[in-house]
Structure 1
Amino acid sequence: MFRHLAAAVTALAAVTAAPAAATPGLVPAADREVAFTVDGTTAYGTLHVPEHRPGQRLRAALLLPGSGPTDRDGNQPPVSSPNTLTQLADALDGEAIATLRFDKYGTGRTGLGAYRDHPEELDYPAFVRQAQAAYESLRDQPETDPHELLVVGHSEGAMTGLVLGGTVRPRPVGLALLQPQAIRMLDLVALQLKAQVSEATRQGQFTPEQQRTVHTAIDAAVTSLRENLPLETTDLPPAIGRLFEAFQGPNARFVDSDDAVYPPDIAAALRPGTNVLLTCGTNDAQVPCATTNALTTALRHAHAGGPGRVTLPAVDHLMHDPDHPDTLAPPVLDSLHRLTRH
Structure 2
Amino acid sequence: MQQQYGAYRGHGAALAAPAPRPYQNVLVPLRFNHATLDMLFSYDARGALAGLHLVPAPPGGAMSHPVGAVAARLARQAACLRAQPVAVESTGAMLHGTLTLPRSGAGPFAAVLLLPGSGPVDENGNAPGALGNSMYQQLAYDLTCKGYAVLRYNKLGLAPSTGNGNDVTLATYVQNTRDLVRWLARQSAINPHRIVLMGHSEGGLIALAAAPGLKIAGVISLEGPGEPMARIIESQAIAEAKLRGASRAQIAQERAQIDATLAAIRHSHGVSLSLGGALARNPFARLFAPAAGLLRSEIDVDPAQLARAIHVPMLITQGGKDVQVLPGNGQRLARAAARRRWRASPT
Are the aligned partners of 2:224 and 2:329 in contact in 1 as well (CA < 8 Å)?
A: no
Amino acid at match of 1:275: P
CA distance in 2, matches of 1:43, 1:72: 11
Match of 1:198 among 242, 255, 258: 242
Preserved contact between residue 75 and residue 83 of structure 1 (Cα < 8 Å): yes
1:141 is aligned to 187
Partner of 2:222: 178
Cross-structure match for 2:291:
251
> Aligned with 1:247: secondary structure?
helix
CA distance in 1, matches of 2:317, 2:166: 33
Flag structure 1 segments of 5+ consecutive residues without an equivalent.
Answer: 4-17, 23-27, 315-342
Aligned to 2:303: 263
CA distance in 2, matches of 1:194, 1:106: 31
Q: CA deviation at 1:246?
A: 4.1
- 1:151-230 aligned within 5 A: 151-168=197-214, 170=215, 172-200=216-244, 203=245, 205-206=246-247, 208-228=248-268
Distance, in Å, in 1 between the alignment partners of 2:153 and 2:296 is 25
Secondary structure of the equivalent of 1:52?
coil
Contact 1:72–1:108 (8 Å) recurs in 2: no
Aligned-partner Cα distance in 2 for 1:60–1:277: 15
In 2, the alpha carbon distance for the partners of 1:167 and 1:143 equals: 23
Count of residues paired in the alignment: 271
Aligned Cα RMSD in Å?
A: 2.9
Indicate conservation of the 8 Å contact 1:221/1:233, yes or no: no
Shift of 1:104: 0.9
Match for residue 119 of structure 2 among 68, 71, 94: 68
**Residue pairs, 1:98-109, within 5 angstroms:** 98-109=149-160
After superposition, give the CA deviation of every residue in 1:212-257 in whole Å (9 maximum; x if it has no partner): 34333433432343245998985x996xx23323434x53211101
3-state SS of 2:325 partner: coil
Identical residues among aligned pairs (%) = 27
Counterpart Cα distance in 2 of 1:103 and 1:64:
10
1:304/1:233 CA distance change after superposition, 3 Å: farther
Please report how far the alpha carbon of residue 313 of structure 1 lies from its aligned counterpart in structure 2 after TM superposition.
Answer: 1.2
Distance 2:77 2:332 in 1: 44
- Code of the residue aligned with 1:186 in structure 2: it is A
Unaligned runs of 5+ in 2: 1-53, 56-74
Distance 1:196 1:78 in 2: 19
The amino acid of 2:195's aligned partner reads L
| Equivalent-residue separation in structure 2 for 1:149 and 1:130 (angstroms) | 15
Distance 1:199 1:85, change over 3 A: closer
The correspondence of residues 115-134 of structure 1 with structure 2, limited to 5 A, is 115=164, 121-134=167-180
Change (3 A) 1:264 1:198: same
Amino acid corresponding to residue 197 of structure 1 in structure 2: A
Instruction: Indicate conservation of the 8 Å contact 1:221/1:231, yes or no.
Output: no
Does the 8 Å contact 2:258/2:284 carry over to 1? no
Q: Which moved more, 1:57-66 or 1:262-271?
A: 262-271
Which runs of structure 2 are paired with 1:10-25 in the superposition (5 Å)?
none
Query: Deviation per CA, 1:100-126, whole angstroms, max 9, x where unpaired?
Result: 111111223104x2x3xxx66422211
TM-score w.r.t. the length of structure 1 is: 0.71
1:279 aligns with 2:317: yes
**Counterparts of 1:281 and 1:138, CA distance in 2:** 30
8 Å CA contact 2:230, 2:300 repeated in 1: no
Tell me: CA distance 1:282–1:20, structure 2 relative to 1, closer, same or farther (3 Å): closer
